[in-house]
């Protein structure tokens, strides 16, 4: 078999627009092609101009499942298909297709599931049929063959492909990238491969912190900073993140600092160049990278992400301060209530968690990057796990406020229709519900800790749990608010008790709860869909709009926190004023006892101690 000629491409595409396939005929063609390949492999080595193909098992998906896919190695380009690509081989044969005949082609067969340029191949020490393919872009593909012989043949051919790719790179030719672009346009892997040679700056730096550094080969591509252990083309990146800031530390020691962000993980690296000139070149490349933000394609508007995060931290800090201040004031009030104290405490803890989330290095540095995909034990797993726990904890505490509202509404309604001898324990029910939610969340973290799933699966799992909690809380709030308003309206009509203010309070609480829960359902649904299908944050929206989309989620939280504090504080103040109506000062002089013969306090200078009416 020979390389497909350029003239065959349009013919094949024209025939595949409305094509269909006959499964039996495709199977016959596949068997014929495989038998031809097998004989060539058995009697001699195939020429470098011919394709090498076959079925292999590839680990893929969020749940690390093994899928049987058809791999085609063409030079240094490795493509893989979900089905046998019949049209790839029929179009290359000497048979001239009948004009208008579309028996052999379908759109799904001619479209690869992915394509990479081979940089290195490595056999597995644990299995004789397993090996890994390292792409130039840094992607790693886990593959298994059907037997040891096929595994050895594939490894040999892939090593030849890696050598070919290295020669092509040294010659600085674009033949391979052009061929890959015609085959797999629109795939993220090939896009990375096409851009892999566009390097703004590369070289050896000492990377680490102030105390310890290690020599690392660093590459600057656009606004992406990649760190390698070696200079080899097949080296796997130790870290890859977007540059958000860079500044010079010392001119004498040639040290400079680089701030990077990858999803929810931020790092501050200290780098040391070999000379001052080298440091100036790195600083120039780094300055160009973070000045040209992903959210500023036209150069008209630059978002200062870290500054905005600081503003959000101060906004949450204000809510935290007022929550704990109101908690302390209400705790000293004679009309204090356990439910109100619980509301203040939960809102204060939720705001405090968000302050930590935005004010520490674990916070969201809201630069649009792809969420980190890693397994337990890989580099960066500690930062990811801490960030995910802090984020979930903040959302959990905020949701607990609405759970507490529903629990106390339900308890108030139950006490209206039960005997006084029946004791109620609303806080027990509240803690039981929270414990159940925490147990469900802990399952996801346990599965991640067991190395069964990756970080994407954990993020999707957390979002699904919070989305279901939003829907359940919304339904409970609507049901019990309707019942509360019905009972209060009945008191107003039957007992002539003025409950208008109470009805308004229930309406306001219901509105703000519904607004928050529905908004979060929208945010979480978008996050789930983007992570589950595209594994990147900006799958549906542009970078700038996605960042605004995420920031609006926290703005909604801030609005809800301040509104609840305002409403709850106003209600507590009204209750405190109303409680004074049931007290009256003790008349002057009437309280004197016989043990005060001199009448020291006869002037009535003692403070008017209140006494409740019986």
- pLDDT tens digit string along 173-185? 444 334 333 333 3
- What's the pLDDT tens digit per position in 23-58? 444 444 455 444 444 433 433 334 444 678 888 888
Highest mean pLDDT among 362-371, 403-412, 579-588: 403-412
Q: Output the pLDDT for position 387.
A: 77
Helix (H) or strand (E) holding 33: helix 23-43
Gap between the Cα atoms of 607 and 122, Å rounded:
87
Nearest to 242 by CA among 188, 293, 299: 293
Q: Which residues contact 378 (CB under 8 A, 6 or more apart)?
A: none
Domains of the chain: 8-194 (2.30.29.30), 198-291 (2.30.29.30), 303-369+543-573 (no CATH)
Are the beta carbons of 467 and 521 closer than 8 angstroms?
A: yes
Average pLDDT over residues 273-289: 84
Gap between the Cα atoms of 401 and 509, Å rounded:
11
Highest mean pLDDT among 174-188, 428-442, 531-545: 428-442
**DSSP strands (E only) in 481-574:** none
pTM of the model: 0.48
Q: Output the pLDDT for position 293.
A: 40
- What's the pLDDT tens digit per position in 491-500? 877 777 777 8
If DSSP states are collapsed to H, E and C, what string results for 201-228?
EEEEEEEECCCCEEEEEEEEECCEEEEE
Gap between the Cα atoms of 79 and 71, Å rounded:
6
Strand duo 224-228 + 239-250: pairing? antiparallel
Q: Output the pLDDT for position 575.
A: 55
Q: Output the pLDDT for position 430.
A: 86
- What's the pLDDT tens digit per position in 375-403? 888 766 887 788 788 888 888 898 998 88
- Band the pLDDT of 349: cuts 50, 70, 90: very high
Higher-scoring residue by pLDDT: 163, 19: 163
Q: How far from 317 is each of 310, 352, 399, CA to CA, in Å? A: 10, 7, 18
- Band the pLDDT of 371: cuts 50, 70, 90: low
């Amino acid at each position: 078999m020979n390389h497909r000629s350029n003239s065959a491409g349009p013919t094949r595409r024209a025939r595949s627009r409305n094509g269909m396939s006959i499964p039996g005929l495709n199977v016959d063609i596949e068997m014929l092609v495989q038998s031809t390949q097998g004989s060539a492999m058995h009697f001699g080595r195939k020429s470098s101009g011919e394709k090498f193909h076959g079925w292999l098992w590839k680990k893929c998906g969020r749940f690390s499942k093994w899928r049987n896919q058809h791999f085609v190695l063409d030079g240094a380009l490795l493509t893989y298909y979900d089905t046998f690509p019949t049209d790839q081989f029929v179009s290359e044969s000497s048979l001239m297709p009948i004009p208008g005949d579309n028996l052999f082609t379908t759109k799904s067969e001619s479209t690869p599931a992915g394509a990479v340029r081979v940089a290195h191949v490595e056999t597995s020490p644990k299995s004789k049929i397993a090996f890994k393919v390292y792409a130039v872009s840094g992607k790693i593909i886990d593959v298994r063959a059907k037997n040891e012989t096929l595994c050895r043949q594939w490894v040999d051919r892939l090593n030849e492909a890696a050598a070919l790719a290295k020669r092509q790179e040294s010659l600085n030719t674009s033949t391979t990238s052009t061929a890959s672009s015609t085959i797999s346009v629109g795939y993220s892997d090939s896009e990375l491969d096409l851009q892999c040679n566009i390097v703004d700056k590369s070289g050896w730096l000492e990377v680490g912190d102030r105390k310890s550094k290690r020599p690392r080969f660093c590459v600057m591509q656009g606004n992406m900073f990649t760190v390698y252990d070696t200079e080899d083309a097949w080296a796997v990146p130790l870290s890859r993140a977007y540059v958000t800031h860079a500044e010079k530390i010392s001119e004498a020691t040639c040290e400079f600092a680089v701030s990077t962000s990858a999803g929810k993980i931020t790092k501050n690296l200290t780098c040391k160049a070999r000379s001052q000139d080298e440091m100036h070149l790195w600083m120039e490349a780094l300055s160009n990278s973070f000045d040209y933000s992903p959210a500023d394609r036209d150069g008209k508007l630059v978002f200062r992400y870290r500054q905005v995060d600081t503003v959000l931290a101060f906004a949450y800090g204000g809510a935290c301060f007022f929550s704990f201040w109101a908690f302390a004031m209400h705790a000293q009030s004679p009309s204090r209530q356990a439910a109100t104290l619980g509301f203040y405490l939960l809102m204060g803890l939720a705001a405090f968690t968000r302050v930590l989330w935005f004010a520490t290095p674990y916070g969201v540095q809201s630069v649009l990057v792809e969420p980190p995909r890693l397994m337990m034990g890989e580099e960066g797993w500690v930062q990811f796990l801490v960030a995910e726990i802090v984020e979930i904890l903040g959302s959990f505490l905020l949701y607990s406020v609405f759970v507490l509202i529903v629990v106390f509404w339900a308890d108030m309604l139950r006490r209206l229709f039960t005997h006084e001898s029946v004791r109620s324990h609303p806080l027990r029910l509240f803690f039981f519900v929270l414990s159940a939610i925490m147990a469900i969340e802990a399952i996801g973290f346990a599965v991640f800790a067991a190395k069964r799933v990756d970080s994407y699966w954990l993020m999707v799992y957390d979002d699904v749990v919070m989305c279901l909690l939003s829907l359940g809380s919304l339904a409970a709030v609507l049901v019990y608010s309707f019942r509360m308003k019905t009972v209060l309206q009945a008191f107003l009509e039957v007992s002539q008790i003025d409950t208008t203010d109470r009805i308004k309070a229930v309406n306001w609480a219901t509105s703000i709860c519904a607004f928050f829960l529905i908004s979060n359902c929208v945010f979480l649904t978008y996050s789930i869909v983007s992570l589950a299908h595209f594994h990147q944050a900006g799958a549906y929206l542009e970078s700038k709009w996605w960042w605004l989309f995420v920031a609006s989620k926290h703005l909604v939280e801030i609005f809800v926190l301040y509104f609840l504090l305002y409403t709850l504080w106003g209600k507590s103040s009204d209750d405190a004023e109303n409680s004074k109506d049931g007290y009256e000062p003790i008349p002057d002089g009437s309280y004197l006892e016989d043990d005060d013969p001199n009448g020291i306090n006869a002037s009535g200078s003692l403070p008017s101690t209140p006494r409740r009416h019986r």
